[in-house]
Amino acid sequence: MHSSLARRQLNGLVPPKIATPRLVSGNSGGGLDPLVDFYSKLPKGRAPSRFGGIKGRFFAGKNASAGPALAIIGGIFLIGYTLDYQLHLKHHKNNAH
C-alpha cells in the first residue's frame, strides 16, 4: 500500500491543528496529551436528531394534529376535480354525450 494512499484515507481522522508532526513524533507519549484531551471531550454515542421530518413535526408531540393530512387530501381532491372539469366535464355542460 502506498504511503500517499494511506495518508489520504486517514486524513480526516486526526484534526491537523492538534496533531502536528512535532507533537506526534518522538519516543515518549507525553506529546500526545493535547490530542488525547481533545478526543476525550468529544460526545460519545449517536448524535441526537434535530429534525423529525413530517411525522415528528406534525403527528408526534404536544402539537400533534391531523391538519396536514387533511390538507393534502383536500388539495389532491381539488387538483383532481379541476383537471377532470377542464379535460372532460366542461364539454358536457350544455350538451349531452
Question: What would the pLDDT profile of 64-76 be if each residue is shown by its tens digit?
Answer: 788 888 999 999 9
Alpha carbon dihedral 85, 91, 92, 97, in 10-degree steps, equals -130
pLDDT band for position 81 (cuts 50, 70, 90): very high
Q: Which three cell numbers stand for residue 95?
A: 350538451
pLDDT of residue 87 exceeding 80, the answer is yes
Average pLDDT (26-33) is 61
Q: Which three cell numbers stand for residue 80?
A: 383532481
| C-alpha torsion sign, points 14, 16, 18, 21 | positive
Question: For residue 43, what pLDDT is reported?
Answer: 84
pLDDT of residue 79 exceeding 90, the answer is yes
The per-residue pLDDT of the chain, averaged, comes to: 75
Residues 3/11, Cβ–Cβ less than 8 Å: no
pLDDT of residue 6 exceeding 60, the answer is yes
Question: For residue 75, what pLDDT is reported?
Answer: 97
pTM of the model: 0.40
